[in-house]
Structure 1
Amino acid sequence: MSSEVKPAALFLYVDNIPAALDWYQKAFPRAQRNYVAEFDFTVLDIDGFQLEMVPSDSKVAAGAFGTVLYWSVEDLSIAMQQFEHLGAKLYRGPMAIENGLGICQFKDPFGNLIGLRGQYQ
């Protein structure tokens, strides 16, 4: 294994892939859709990081069941307003953490959790 290890992709298990792709592209406007014809699969690429919508099944259901990825945002309050406008529901927080930062969690329309972390007053 190389000495550099970094996250490459986040799988979001959903019941409606087209709706999830649309919603997440609105939530992350820099995301670019990439269609992989060989597998008839579309991913969202955010600066080399892949956001992948995959069908929920009996092994991995859609929803808030554990691990939460936190996205770095410039201003937590503004990002929270944007996510609320898109229909996400505040799930936890916001709460102040170190160095003037804050965190919160939102539940997307598909039941998954999204963490946000940024400057917070």
Structure 2
Amino acid sequence: MLKGVATVSLFAEDVDQAKAWYTELLGVEAYFHRSGPDGRTAYVEFRIGDRQTELGIIDRRYAPRPAAPEAGGAILYWHVDDLDATLDKLRELGAKEYEARTERGPGFVTASVTDPFGNVIGVMHNQHYLDVLGG
């Protein structure tokens, strides 16, 4: 039934500002851009990770419902090889801790932050991810 993540959608008031922030974080440029009827950037998309997952940033005006007053909801965790270095970089770029680094069991460590645009980003070192990728 569910085959894999097709697109991860994040929302921002200023898509150009979010695009610059994510370009700095990811080290790659967005490959797709779309403007809205008013000429403002409405959507940008990156391809990232081992499976070239789509990461889209959408103008918050097009969110399916009004934004909640606080960050929350489902958290998608991205595998990272060095969790502490990733958290350091996220903090350097202005992300704020949402959930502290937490040991979940042998080979599984998670943490999450909120980006400057109010989105929660989960990061984890996940041994199972590495095992599946290597197999």
TM-score (norm 2): 0.73
Contact 2:15 2:44 in 1 (8 A): no
Structure 1 segments unaligned to the other structure (5+ residues): none
Give the 3-state SS of the residue equivalent to 1:19 in structure 2.
Answer: helix
| Whole-angstrom distance in 1 between the partners of 2:116 and 2:35 | 29
Residue of structure 2 equivalent to 1:61: 67
Matched, 1:110 2:114: no
- Supply the distance in 2 between the matched residues of 1:68 and 1:45 (Cα, whole angstroms): 19
Backbone CA RMSD of aligned residues: 2.5
Matched, 1:85 2:82: no
Counterparts of 1:26 and 1:56, CA distance in 2: 21
Which one has the bigger strand percentage? 1
Greater relative contact order (CA < 8 Å, ≥ 6 in sequence)? 1
**2:4 maps to 1:6:** yes
What is the TM-score of this pair, normalised by structure 1? Answer: 0.81
Contact 1:90/1:105, CA 8 A, preserved across alignment: yes
**TM-aligned CA deviation for residue 100 of structure 1:** 3.4
Identity of aligned residues (%): 26
CA deviations over 1:67-95 (Å, ceiling 9, x no partner): 11101011111111111111111111111
Q: Is the partner of 2:5 in helix, strand or coil?
A: coil
Q: Does 1:51 pair with 2:51?
A: no
Aligned residues: 116
The structure-2 alpha-carbon separation of the partners of 1:100 and 1:20, relative to structure 1 and needing over 3 Å to count, comes to: same
